Amino acid sequence: MNTIKKLLSAVLAAVLVLSIAGISVYAEEEPLPANASYVAGDADGDAIINSADALRVVYHASSHHEMTDVVRRTAADVDANGKLNSTDALYILYYSVGKIDSFKRDDLNLSTIAGNITYDPYTGCVIDNKGLGLVGFAYDAKYGVFYATGAGWQRTVGYTELYDRLAAIAFMPLDTIRIKFNYKGMQWMVQLWKGYYGLVLAGCETGFYNRPGDTPEEQTTYNVVSEEYHQEMSCRFHYGLSSFNRYSRTWWLTGFAPAIQSSPATTIPKMRVENTINFTDIGLMNAFIEGLKNVDHIFQNYDGKTRGFHFVEGSNYRVKGTSVWFEWQ
């Protein structure tokens, strides 16, 4: 509830500023492409309507980060007046917290698969009409990648190291890196995973977590970060024919592509992942970089062993503005 209040306050403040400034950006400056389809309110193209879409509209209307895709601009113009402004941002936020249940603009050219499950041909997303996916997962048909929506049941359970050890028993041999650091009186962790997910999928994950600063170090449980600390994250997974890209503003970025599981002792270390995090808080970014520098190993859940690994600036990690790029394998 506190998170919702903070988000509502942030967007309301942006609404006030934009209204005073009189900022209003035309949403449909060019014709929609013939293959256009969208979920109304989906400003960032992940088929999920949440506060990230409201903030995306605010960024666009203030010229902080403009949307170049006319389909995204049109989908975000939820009051269907041809302009993107603070009103659209507020409507999207109200929808995401259940204050309203529809927009003036309707969804466009979505295909119903079964029940409330739909397919968006433009983004390739298969998802339900609440953006939660099937038990928290959805499918990107354009790139053939399954992914977690970040809005499902997984938000409520947080993280503990026991999950990694149990994953190996559940046919999920994984490499993982835990990037730990302190910021604003809290203990933080960004965790990276790559490997096999079941017998027929390979992929990667990036999770953002924190917990109270006085938590004993031997305790391995963390909480999912609140929405105000969701970050714009992207990843590129490279392993033979299972290569793919994923992007979202979230606490948990994932991607899983078809691949036949083979010996983890030889194949998982060869999987390469490139991550980028665009931070909204420069202090949080600097704290994360310090944690990145302290990484000294990769944990292998399939044999319980570790292997040495370091992030070296200019080699496998680089900082540009408020963005940090890093890779590992």
Q: Is the pTM of this model over 0.85?
A: no
pLDDT, one tens digit per residue, over 264-321 is 989 999 999 999 999 989 999 999 999 999 999 999 999 999 999 999 999 999 999 9
- CATH code of the domain containing 18: 1.10.1330.10
- Evaluate if residue 9 carries a pLDDT over 60: no
296 by Cβ neighbours in 10 Å (0-12 / 13-18 / 19+) ranks as exposed
Which of helix, strand or coil describes residue 159? strand
- Evaluate if residue 134 carries a pLDDT over 60: yes
Query: Stretch 246-253: mean pLDDT, rounded?
Result: 90
Q: Is residue 307 part of a domain?
A: yes
pLDDT at 229: 92
220 contacts 161 by C-beta, under 8 angstroms: yes
Report how many domains make up the chain.
2
160 shares its domain with 36: no
Q: Is residue 58 part of a domain?
A: yes
Mean pLDDT taken over the chain:
87
pLDDT, one tens digit per residue, over 148-162 is 877 666 777 889 999
- Evaluate if residue 209 carries a pLDDT over 60: yes
DSSP code of 226? P
CA dist 285 → 30, 214, 281, 292, 314 (Å): 37, 21, 6, 10, 17
- Give the phi and the psi of residue 162 in degrees, each rounded to 5: -60, -35
Spatial distance between the Cα atoms of 121 and 251, rounded to a whole number of angstroms: 26
289 contacts 311 by C-beta, under 8 angstroms: no
pLDDT at 321: 95
Question: Which residue range is the domain that position 25 belongs to?
Answer: 2-111
Query: Stretch 73-101: mean pLDDT, rounded?
Result: 92
- Evaluate if residue 19 carries a pLDDT over 60: no
Binning pLDDT at 50, 70 and 90, where does residue 182 land?
A: very high
Q: Which is higher by pLDDT, 20 or 221?
A: 221
Q: Is residue 105 part of a domain?
A: yes
176 shares its domain with 274: yes
20 shares its domain with 159: no
pLDDT at 281: 93
pLDDT, one tens digit per residue, over 191-208 is 999 999 998 999 999 999
188 shares its domain with 281: yes
Binning pLDDT at 50, 70 and 90, where does residue 61 land?
A: confident
253 shares its domain with 303: yes
pLDDT at 29: 61
83 contacts 93 by C-beta, under 8 angstroms: no
Q: Is residue 251 part of a domain?
A: yes
Q: Is residue 27 part of a domain?
A: yes
pLDDT at 154: 72
pLDDT, one tens digit per residue, over 26-51 is 555 678 998 899 989 999 887 778 77
pLDDT at 151: 67
Spatial distance between the Cα atoms of 175 and 88, rounded to a whole number of angstroms: 42
159 shares its domain with 107: no
For the ranges 8-17, 40-49, 133-142, 258-267, the maximum mean pLDDT occurs at: 258-267
pLDDT at 28: 59
- Evaluate if residue 25 carries a pLDDT over 80: no
Q: Which is higher by pLDDT, 230 or 154?
A: 230
Query: Stretch 164-185: mean pLDDT, rounded?
Result: 95
Spatial distance between the Cα atoms of 257 and 268, rounded to a whole number of angstroms: 14
- Evaluate if residue 133 carries a pLDDT over 70: no
Spatial distance between the Cα atoms of 171 and 183, rounded to a whole number of angstroms: 35
